[in-house]
Amino acid sequence: MSELARAARAVAGGRHIAVLTGAGVSAESGIPTFRGAGGLWRGFDSASLATPEAFAANPKLVWEFYNWRREIVARADPNPAHVALTKLAGRVPRLSLITQNVDRLHHRAGSRGVLELHGNLWEIRCTRCGETSDRTGDILPPLPSCGACGGLARPAVVWFGEALPDDVWSAAQESVRDADVLLVVGTSAVVYPAAALVTLGKRAGQTIIEVNLEPTPVSDAIDIGLYGKAGELLPQLVPSEQE
């Protein structure tokens, strides 16, 4: 039996499918990933701009980077990988969708209850009073300020060295521990604590499936590896409506 057939069988027979996605799931929507090809913006390593230190040193540069990403995301559409996960949720007893992405494309594809580990790109948060506001689709000034107190606002995303939102992180861990199938899609699995979810629920009886262009540091711990584009592979894991 092929790896793809084994994966499809595990998914179709799953009681609770937990899915962890990363930037690769949005790559076919034209959104650059953080590492590998596309991981550079104006010669800067994208991940190095996603830090509180980078923002403290040069908020204008970090905002330029995020405003650029906001524009790309605003123009992008969900791709067949996002759509497949939405369909899958309707065809299995339970599905939990956990994402490291801040682009909200899972929401736009119709997924519900998405656990956003790293926040999202559309909200901004005041660095002075903490007020958060939803600026979905808005074109922001080079240095956005808080509508309440006038302080400097920042993207309401989780940066390196910052804690994940407690409630989201707890819910993600619970889902992975409970799931009998874990689908890990389009993540380089090098950013913690998110990457720790891959092996958190590892036990006899849990099937871990990795979907990526190439093997990653967690590939040794997984059961089934599917190497290719998420937009081509995920639709093949969705059971037909009659199953």
Among 8, 28, 126, 164, binds ligand OAD (CB under 6 A): 28
Provide the 3-class DSSP secondary structure of residue 190. Answer: coil
d(CA 31, CA 103): 9
Q: Which DSSP category does 145 fall into?
A: B
Q: What is the largest CA-CA distance in the chain?
A: 61
Piece of 2-10, 89-97, 121-129, 152-160 that binds ligand OAD (CB under 6 A): 152-160
Query: Residue 51: which of 43, 42, 59 has the closest Cα?
Result: 59
Residues 36-65: x where in contact with ligand OAD by CB under 6 A, - otherwise, as a string: x----------x--x---------------
Residue for token pair 């650059």: 32
Determine contact, residues 199/189, Cβ cutoff 8 Å.
no
* Catalytic-residue membership of 118: yes
Q: Which of 82, 106, 107, 118 is catalytic?
A: 118
Residue for token pair 């901004």: 124
State which residue, 223 or 232, has the beta carbon closest to ligand OAD.
232
CA distances 67 to 25, 28, 59, 163, Å, are 21, 20, 12, 23
The residues in 78-107 that bind ligand OAD, with binding defined as CB under 6 A, are 100
Among 8, 14, 34, 146, binds ligand OAD (CB under 6 A): 34
Piece of 8-16, 26-34, 108-116, 196-204 that binds ligand OAD (CB under 6 A): 26-34
> What are the catalytic residues?
118
Contact residues: ligand OAD, CB under 6 A:
22-24, 27-28, 33-36, 47, 50, 100, 118, 157-160, 186-188, 191, 211-214, 216, 229-230
